[in-house]
Amino acid sequence: MCGIVGYIGKNKNAQQILLDGLHRLEYRGYDSAGLCVISGKKCKTFRAVGKVSALEAKIGEKDLAAKIGIAHTRWATHGKPSVVNAHPHNCGKIHLVHNGIIENYAQLKEALIAKGHIFSSETDSEVVAHLIDEANGSSRSFEESVQDALAQIRGAYALVVMHEDEPEKLIAVRNSSPLVIGVGRDEFIVASDASAIITHTDRVLYLDDGEMIVLTADDHRITNFQGKLRNKKEHVLDWNESEAQKEGYAHFMLKEIFEQPHAVEDAMRGRVIIKEGLARLGGLSAVEKKIRSINRIVIVSCGTSYHAGLVGEYMLEEYAGIPTEVEYASEFRYRKPLIDKRTAVIAISQSGETADTRAAIREAKNKGALTLGIINAVGSTIARETDAGVYNHAGPEISVASTKAFTSQLTILTLFTVYMGRQRDMSMTMGRRILTELRALPHKIEEIFTQEKHIKKIAKKYSSVQSMFYLGRKYNYPIALEGAIKIKEISYIHAEGYASGEMKHGPIALIDKNFPSIVIAPCDSVYEKTLSAIAEIRARSGKVVVITTSDATEAIKIADDVIIVPKTLEMLMPLLTVVPLQILAYYAGVTRGYDVDKPRNLAKSVTVE
């Protein structure tokens, strides 16, 4: 949801660092991009509609010779994608980039216009530049002017601000939108997330909401919005640079699909004690006592993470015996959820920055619940705001469509189920069984990769359809939802995920020879029921692709196309069945000629509500 970068240093070329940062943050938004540097005492601004490459083309070969600058890649909220709406925005000598939403911008804009300000964009962000300029004009210092503006705006924002007359200073502020400060030698790089920083330094400072940092090339000062000094500890990033590169794959999505055996392995590393049938989750040790007393779990999440939560619900209820509900985070906060001290509210989030999930966790905290996180991005906002949690350690996920984060989340949910179950009624034998099967999964996922070409062919065969169903039952119902969202995101084919038993209650009316169904039908406890759904579709001339296991003879026989996955415990099957669906969506998108890493209208990290 918009990516911002700021740079100040003594020796390096700001232009290159900013553009490189934008490329790495492009997954956050890509409808327009812009950059502004101060060279001498002059600001040079470039903006372009489209991706960062369009901005680069506009700058051309010019060396802007600057040591300070700001840059932005946009995901439009207020105002359509256009050059005038692209950031950086300015008013007089104030230039800034913004990620978030200024909720009261309309009133502020009106008041500023009445004072004679002239606006050049439709954005909410430009208002902030005018507010700072207004304060600066009444002889407030640069810092004080920023503080004055902050006192007037409401909403979510991360801002990086420059003043043309003070080229030795960069100011960044944060309130409900992510911002990380990379600390180098005689340089600082400010960015929406660490992927834009990791090539320069692994030393970072995390700003909290309500904090502002004033940077010079070799010094920094953090305060609250009223100017009161804040002390911050530096952190060291645990990502390495190669993890943020494509490494020969055509797309990040494909690379991340193929990284899943590692992601699953890394999620369980050091956390499995087979002998005792136990899961060790160090991140929960501080709240272990509290966890023992909880009698209900509510999982809050969005998108793909929500689907992981649904699988978690089935696991936790079946094996740990704890009543569990899963809610869209965006719904949770606006109704009246019944939660108390004995409820654990778990946020599942790859980015740890999703605004709806964060708001849901705040609501849960206010109601006295224990809040936990299953988060991939270390040091992210939700990771810091929950009482305790478990990190995925899946490494950076760059492709907008989530893949390895999902299987990694399922791995953590399995460990959490064993952890909770063993505190309650789960036997050591059952704990051992689940963990032994879990450990075998990375290898089984690799086995699925041997069918890549076969799945690609199926993807091509169905890539021109207009609509399709994804069906599954019990543990594979959430996978049907996930398969459908994946193909929608990447190939723009309309797809609906359904519980296969629900087919007969309406959706089946749509079936004809042009409306195919992908049915997840491994030989499990609901296999025969799913077979009936397949038969009903076939009887209406609907084409069927089944994702199944090699012992499912009947399903294999009646389907038009078959993808076989290895066998495992029923509860772990989603970690296998989802993989061919990811590959299928990927190749359908590629066949239709789309940029699968950056699907239209989407953003990786949705930091607005």
Query: Residue numbers of the site for ligand G6P (CB under 6 A)?
Result: 302-305, 349-351, 354, 357, 400-402, 602, 604-606
* Of 406, 394, 25, 415, residue with least CA distance to 191: 25
CB of 458 to ligand G6P, least distance (A): 23
Query: Which CB atom, from 34 or from 352, has the smaller least distance to ligand G6P?
Result: 352
Cα torsion angle, 354, 356, 357, 362, sign: positive
Closer residue to ligand G6P, CB minimum distance, 90 or 403 = 403
What is the closest distance, in whole angstroms, from the C-beta atom of residue 402 to ligand G6P in the complex?
Answer: 4
Query: Nearest approach, Cβ of 353 to ligand G6P (angstroms)?
Result: 7
Task: Please check whether residue 9 is in contact with residue 67, taking contact to mean a CB–CB distance below 8 angstroms.
Answer: yes
CB closer to ligand G6P, 128 vs 364? 364
CB-nearer residue toward ligand G6P: 112 or 602: 602
Cα gap 376→352, rounded to integer Å: 7
Q: Give the integer Cα–Cα distance in Å for 394 and 269.
A: 11
Determine the Cα–Cα distance for residues 597 and 592; give it in Å rounded to an integer. Answer: 14
**Burial letters 393-427, b for 16+ CB under 10 A, else e:** bbbbbbbbbbbbbbbbbbbbbbbbbbbbbbeeebe
**Least separation in angstroms between CB 583 and ligand G6P:** 17
Q: To the nearest whole angstrom, how small is the minimum distance from the Cβ of residue 603 to ligand G6P? A: 6
Catalytic residues: 2, 604
The distance of closest approach from Cβ of residue 515 to ligand G6P in the complex, given in angstroms and rounded to an integer, is 26
Nearer to ligand G6P, 316 or 400 (CB): 400
DSSP state for residue 244 in the 8-state scheme: G
Given strand 343-349, what is the order of strands in its sheet? 324-328, 296-301, 343-349, 370-375, 388-391
Nearer to ligand G6P, 145 or 386 (CB): 386
Instruction: Give the residue with the Cβ less far from ligand G6P, 267 or 552.
Output: 267
State the residue number with the nearest CB to ligand G6P.
Answer: 303
Q: 314 φ, ψ to 5°?
A: -65, -45
Please state, in angstroms and rounded to a whole number, the distance separating the CA atoms of residues 374 and 75: 26
> Which is closer to ligand G6P, CB of 31 or CB of 524?
31
Q: How many CA atoms lie within 13 A of 143 on its CB side?
A: 17
Residue type, 59: I
CB-wise, 490 or 521, nearer to ligand G6P?
490
Least CB distance from residue 203 to ligand G6P, whole Å? 24
3-class DSSP assignment, residue 7: strand
> Measuring CA to CA, which residue among 333, 362, 327 is closest to residue 348?
327
- Which neighbouring-strand residues pair with 182? 189, 204
Q: At a CB cut-off of 8 Å and minimum separation 6, what does 604 contact?
A: 27, 28, 351, 397, 398, 399, 400
| Residue 234: Cβ-neighbour burial (10 angstroms; 0-12, 13-18, 19+) | exposed
Instruction: State which residue, 142 or 252, has the beta carbon closest to ligand G6P.
Output: 252
CA distance 433 to 438: 9
If phi > 0 it is left, if psi is from -120 to 50 it is alpha, else beta; for residue 231 that is beta
Please state, as a whole number, how many other Cβ atoms lie within 10 Å of the Cβ of residue 51. Answer: 19
Q: To the nearest whole angstrom, how small is the minimum distance from the Cβ of residue 81 to ligand G6P?
A: 18
- Tokens 């025969």 locate to 528
CB of 365 to ligand G6P, least distance (A): 17
CA R_g for the chain: 25
Cβ-count burial 27-40 (b if 16+ within 10 Å, e if not): bbbbbbbbbbbbbe
Q: At closest approach, how far in Å is the CB of 103 from ligand G6P?
A: 21
- Residue 470 CA to chain centroid, in angstroms? 23
